[in-house]
Amino acid sequence: MYLKEGCSLLLKVHKPSIPFVLNASPILGVNQENDEIRKNPNLNESDVLKRLRGERDTYLALEYFKHVANVESFKHTTLTYQMMIEKLGQKHEMDGVQYLLQQMKLEGVNCSEGIFISVIDSYRRAGAAEQALKTFYRIQDFGFKVTVRIYNHLLDALLCENQFHMINPVYNNMKKDGLEPNVYTYNILLKALCKNNRVDGACKLLVEMLNKGCSPDVVSYTTIVSSLCKIGSTKDARKLALNYTPSVPAYNALINGFCRECNFREAFELMNDMLDKGLRPNVVTYTTLLNAMCDVGNFELSLAMLGKMFVSGCSPNIQTLTCLIKGLSLKGRVHEALAVWNQITREGLLPNVVTYNTLIHGLCFVGNLSEALCLLNQMERYGCLPNVTTFSTLIDGYAKFGDLRGASEIWNKMITSGCPPNVVVYTSMVDVLCRNFMFDRAYNLIEKMAMENCPPNTITFNVFIKHLCTSGRVDQAMELFDKMEHYGCACNITTYNELLGGLFKINNFRLAFELLVDMERNGIEFNIVTYNNIVNGLSRAGMFEVALMFVGKLLVKGIKPDTFTLNIVINAYCKCGKVESAIKLLDTMSSVGCNPDLVTFTSLICGICETIGLDLASVYLQRMIEKGICPNISIWNFLVRWLFRKLGYDASLTHFNNVMDGRLEETELQFQTKV
């Protein structure tokens, strides 16, 4: 057992089986304890239990436990041992727990059911279910017969760590011992099956429960209802729930399932059905619906739901208001989120770390870093300790603006507060270093990640590669790409797309096509970004026919082109003189769900001027305005230059005065009218 520095777990000299702590320096309060014991040598069990229960410091409690053992008139009992075992278990001091358990055996102190449950639960909290299993198989050595409750706690410990392969053997062993599983046993098994995606098996087990005369409770069918909803079988879940006594948790699971499918009509009908059956929706019901409305951006309805909560006498909790803040923040409505925040403080609710993190994320999302920093300071003043998510959100916010100083200050604050950075924080720091062209420092940070047992992931490398390619350092990006395997990172489609964009930008077609071959060899499917990179790179190099061939491949594979794809194609058609094809493509853009933008019309109008003439270009200029797209200065500049070139300076100037002088005011007026 690892204790404070200078402490060790040893055995007493005159009673070698009692574990206790020896300190290099005396523990505060030991002398007072000795005086108390000398004044009152006739200690009884209730006195010791009261003292142990009231001592918050586990190590002082253990010191007291040791000194009490020196009193000749007192002998530790099953209950005092259990109390000390529970205290050590809460601190994950499992070596100490085992010492005490062994000491009980040596001294002949009877072990109770509660003792073994405490030991198993301690291992569960420590995340050591296998050690709990080993202790379980030693129970018979203590002369104690295993009970159903002990089995239940062991099964729960295994379930917490998803040790599904161990659960069934333990359950079979329970039946061999002649013990009948109770409803708690079945509920653990149901959860295990559902967590292991065996909802069908859980349904069969529910039937087995009924056949054996063990009536399922609310937890039993709510577990299955919730799992059916998670896999999208909401109709089956609803049918199952109707077969049992209706309960609020089951309805909440169903409502959550329908909300996940965006089937809000069914969700609201279920809430009304609850009321019809005399069930009162609770804070979970309202919060689930409110959160769903926020997720789809329907804040009016979410606020109406909040009002309905108040009317029904159900007060929102901090989770309810956090959902509202999250929804408003993600939509950039930070002022309204701050209004909800002020409501929280007025109502006397204490924001938790999740609430703070949600609002900080929203503030960073809209670039209000100063207000986000104020919230961080407020957290610390009110005793709400920021976690790694808090710091990573702020660092990422500063990184997006390339603010190395701000990101570094948050980093230093995080380190000094004792919060170790995770891969998300490191990646944000790599991002901000790259934005400031400090690529050597960024690579050093990646090496530090590996040494700090927080290895970089694929996202870290993708961020680094993106910045290298954007800044024209494609050779360095390729070197970094080759080193990814060394760090145990697999390349994904984003990695290849960033590299392809960089290689096509510098017209390195040989290496780009080698990467495409590598993608196919590794089974990575091309996506729309991949094809856009290829088509754009080939078009920029003047290889329009080859670019259009890749567009054909894109369509054959059933990949839906986006506006960027079609802009590239229209530009390619115009560059190679196929303006009629570009016009036809523009007319079909809406049919494939792509709305033309400023870039689309700019390419087309320029192409029409060059090959057909100003009259048709004016038609598409008018169409552009009708779609709510205002021509920018580039279009007007092109039209002026085209007129000057085609008509000669004097003629063009006169023609421009007659045809175009008033058109700018006319089109801008039309655009303003449309808007």
Residues 564-602 have pLDDT tens digits of 888 888 888 887 788 888 888 887 776 666 778 888 888
User: Is residue 536 classed exposed, middle or buried when 0-12, 13-18 and 19+ CB atoms within 10 A define those classes?
Assistant: buried
What is the torsion angle, in degrees rounded to the nearest 10, for the CA atoms of residue 478, residue 480, residue 481 and residue 487? Answer: 160
Top pLDDT among 648 and 503 is at 503
* Model pTM score: 0.68
Average pLDDT, the chain: 83
Token duo for residue 99 = 């010492």
Tens of pLDDT, residue by residue over 406-457, are: 999 999 999 998 899 999 999 999 999 999 999 999 999 999 998 888 999 9
* Confidence at residue 10, expressed as pLDDT on a 0 to 100 scale: 27
Poorest-confidence range of 183-187, 329-333, 361-365, 389-393? Answer: 329-333
CA distance 609 to 616: 8
Does 399 score more than 90 pLDDT? yes
* Residue 3 and residue 20 in contact, taking contact as beta carbons nearer than 8 Å: no
CA distance 312 to 327: 23
Provide the greatest CA pair distance for the chain. 120
Q: What are residue 23's phi and psi, to 5 degrees?
A: -110, 145
Tens of pLDDT, residue by residue over 621-654, are: 888 888 888 888 888 888 777 777 766 554 444 5
Sign for the pseudo-dihedral over CA of 441, 443, 444, 449? positive
* Confidence at residue 33, expressed as pLDDT on a 0 to 100 scale: 52
Confidence of residue 483 (pLDDT cuts 50, 70, 90): very high
CA-nearest of 281, 279, 295, 292 to 329 is: 295
* Confidence at residue 592, expressed as pLDDT on a 0 to 100 scale: 64
CA-nearest of 485, 527, 523 to 500 is: 527
Top pLDDT among 142 and 414 is at 414
Q: How many angstroms separate the first and last alpha carbons of the chain?
A: 72
CA-nearest of 617, 625, 608 to 664 is: 625
Q: What are residue 364's phi and psi, to 5 degrees?
A: -65, -35
CA-nearest of 522, 525, 527, 498 to 512 is: 498
- Parallel, antiparallel or unpaired: strands 19-23 and 7-11: antiparallel
Poorest-confidence range of 22-31, 164-173, 330-339? Answer: 22-31
* Confidence at residue 576, expressed as pLDDT on a 0 to 100 scale: 77
* Confidence at residue 326, expressed as pLDDT on a 0 to 100 scale: 86
Tell me how crowded residue 209 is: count the other CB atoms within 10 A of its CB: 22
CA distance 588 to 570: 12
* Element at 10 (helix H, strand E): strand 7-11
Token duo for residue 51 = 């003292």
Q: How far is CA 588 from the centre of its chain?
A: 40
Confidence of residue 539 (pLDDT cuts 50, 70, 90): confident
Does 73 score more than 90 pLDDT? no
* Confidence at residue 564, expressed as pLDDT on a 0 to 100 scale: 86
* Confidence at residue 536, expressed as pLDDT on a 0 to 100 scale: 87
* CATH number, domain 182-281: 1.25.40.10
Q: How many residues does the chain have?
A: 675
CA distance 84 to 86: 5
Confidence of residue 675 (pLDDT cuts 50, 70, 90): very low
* Confidence at residue 476, expressed as pLDDT on a 0 to 100 scale: 95
- Give the contacts of 350 (CB within 8 A, at least 6 positions apart): 318, 382, 384
Domain boundaries, the chain: 182-281, 597-675
Token duo for residue 39 = 């004044």
What is the CB-side half-sphere exposure of residue 625 using CA atoms within 13 A? Answer: 20
* Confidence at residue 664, expressed as pLDDT on a 0 to 100 scale: 46
Poorest-confidence range of 69-78, 113-122, 126-135, 160-169? Answer: 69-78
Residue range 191-204: average pLDDT? 90
Task: Quote the radius of gyration of the chain (alpha carbons, Å).
Answer: 35
- Give the contacts of 232 (CB within 8 A, at least 6 positions apart): 261
Helices (H) and strands (E) in the chain, counts: 38, 2
Residue range 131-137: average pLDDT? 89
* Confidence at residue 437, expressed as pLDDT on a 0 to 100 scale: 94
Q: Where are the alpha helices (DSSP H) in 331-438?
A: 334-346, 353-365, 369-381, 388-400, 404-416, 423-435
CA distance 569 to 397: 36
* Residue 149 and residue 136 in contact, taking contact as beta carbons nearer than 8 Å: no
Strand partners, 8: 22
* Confidence at residue 512, expressed as pLDDT on a 0 to 100 scale: 92
Q: Of 68-77, 524-533, 647-656, give the range with the top mean pLDDT.
A: 524-533
Tell me how crowded residue 370 is: count the other CB atoms within 10 A of its CB: 9
What is the torsion angle, in degrees rounded to the nearest 10, for the CA atoms of residue 150, residue 151, residue 156 and residue 157? Answer: 70
* Element at 21 (helix H, strand E): strand 19-23
The owner of tokens 């809406």 is 590
Q: Where are the beta strands (DSSP E) in 209-353?
A: none
CA distance 435 to 424: 17
Token duo for residue 110 = 């009877």
